[in-house]
Amino acid sequence: MSDSIDIINAFALLTNFVILPALSYGSQLALGALAVTLVYSILRFSNFAQGDSMAFGTMLVIIISGYMISKGWTITGFPTAILAIPLALVGMSIYLLAMDRLVYKHYRKIKAKQNIVGITASIGVMFVTGGIVRFILGASAQRFGDGERFIFSVREFKAFTGLQQGIAFKTSQFLTITLAILLVAFLFYFLQKTKTGKAMRAYSDNTELALLSGIDPDKVVRITWLLVALFTTIAGTLYGLDKGFAPQQYHLLLLPIFASVIVGGIGSPIGAIAGAFLVAFSEILLTYAYKKFLIYLLPLSMHPSSLVQLIGTEYKYAISFVILVIVLLIRPTGIFKGKVIDGD
């Protein structure tokens, strides 16, 4: 390794190990956080079942893509999981709508304190869903990505640029970022421009008034769950392609997702996205070991001997919590002013 200061290589290193992973992790969180935001805005409760719902959607994808691979219905170089999403989406929509019909609908009808009852009910749903997923797929971790692993690998990048430090761009990262941009664009178009989307916003802002102007509440709720199914399934699948599937890990995703939603301002879609990237970047920046990075940047005499890691990787979930606490202490409404006072 050279003893000179090498900014380009340092930057390449950071891109490979911090920026790209954080961008894709942030996109996955953002999709999950948008699902939570949607449920919150329309159904008025914090959905504790989000993490396990993502596991459920991913489970469907794993089963369907497994079947497709066994039949040879694949496209060379492309993850079959992505092809399985549309079908999984149908299953996920049915599951969420059934849960709504069986569990949540009753509490809307009797006009219960929706937030508290909704949380309790969603905790019940969380355990039912988690149990089903663990029963069908087991609790152990599994990988299900097939196809080309990289858009370009470290070696290709090095050969192309001649840099000492390579950057690999994984297919899963590329797909995550692209799909997230498409989905977010779709959501904003839907909410701003279409009639149904406008009805949803009206319902969220002022339910009474929306009902008076003839908006069908059942339809709004149905569309919401369909959107939630879309975001949840895709977020889960992308996370799984990137990091592998394990039910417990998905369950714990609840923490960073909630942190994103609250940091951004609960009920605000833009806030959810901003919050997700804030959480993802903090998590990865704080748990990254900066030793090699500093070796590139500092003269030989100042090279660090330890890993220069701010927080151990095992505490990555603590970071979302700390961010949450700081936000609640300094600005409880979140970055983009959300709803602070209980709406019910």
Q: Where are the alpha helices (DSSP H) in 72-153?
A: 80-99, 105-109, 114-137
> Shortest approach of another protein to residue 157 CB, angstroms?
33
Spatial contact of 109 and 35, defined as CB atoms under 8 Å apart: no
Of 68, 132, 163, 297, the one binding another protein by CB under 8 A: 132
**Helix and strand totals (H; E) in the chain:** 16, 2
The strand pair at 169-170 and 150-152 is best described as antiparallel
Give the integer Cα–Cα distance in Å for 138 and 118. Answer: 28
243: its two tokens: 């990091």
Stretch that binds another protein, among 167-175, 219-227, 232-240, 250-258 (CB under 8 A): 250-258
Binding-site string for another protein from residue 322 to residue 341, where x marks contact by CB under 8 A and - marks none: --xx--xx--x------xxx
Phi/psi-derived region of residue 134, left when phi > 0, alpha when psi is between -120 and 50, beta in every other case: alpha
- The residue whose two tokens read 């003839």 is 214
Residue 163 Ramachandran class (φ > 0 left, ψ -120 to 50 alpha, else beta): beta
63 binds another protein (CB under 8 A): no
Q: Which is nearer to another protein, 95 or 169 (CB)?
A: 95
Q: Is 262 in the site for another protein (CB under 8 A)?
A: yes
Nearer to another protein, 149 or 331 (CB): 331
Selected binder of another protein within 22, 82, 266, 276 (CB under 8 A): 266
d(CA 232, CA 36): 9
Token pair, residue 294, equals: 């500093």
Report the alpha-carbon distance of residue 36 to residue 64 in Å, rounded: 25
What type of residue is 334? G
Q: How far is the CB of 225 from another protein (least distance, A)?
A: 17
Q: How many CB atoms lie within 10 A of CB 102?
A: 10
**Under the criterion CB under 8 A, does residue 320 sit at the interface with another protein?**
yes
Min CB(177)–another protein separation in Å = 27
- Smaller CB separation from another protein, 21 or 256: 256
How many residues lie near another protein (CB under 8 A)? 51
Give the nearest distance from C-beta 305 to another protein in angstroms.
11
Among 255, 272, 278, 284, binds another protein (CB under 8 A): 255
Identified binder of another protein from the candidate list 141, 219, 312, 337, rule CB under 8 A: 312
Cβ distance to another protein smaller for residue 23 or 126? 126
**x-or-dash string of contact with another protein, 111-130, rule CB under 8 A:** ----xxx-xxx-xxxxxx-x
Q: How far apart are CA 133 and CA 41, in angstroms?
A: 27
Q: Please identify which residue in 226, 298, 321, 335 interacts with another protein, judged by CB under 8 A.
A: 321
Nearest Cα residue to 100 out of 223, 270, 239: 223
- Residue 69 within binding range of another protein, rule CB under 8 A: no
- For 269, the token pair is 């879609």
Q: Which of residues 10-49 bind another protein (CB under 8 A)?
A: 45-46, 48
DSSP result, 182-219: HHHHHHHHHHHHSHHHHHHHHHHH-HHHHHHTT--HHH
Is 317 a binding residue for another protein by CB under 8 A? The answer is yes
Q: CB neighbours of 1 closer than 8 A, spacing ≥ 6?
A: 295
Residues that bind another protein (CB under 8 A): 45-46, 48, 102-103, 106, 115-117, 119-121, 123-128, 130-132, 134-136, 138-139, 251-252, 254-255, 258-259, 262, 266, 310, 312, 314-315, 317-318, 320-321, 324-325, 328-329, 332, 339-342
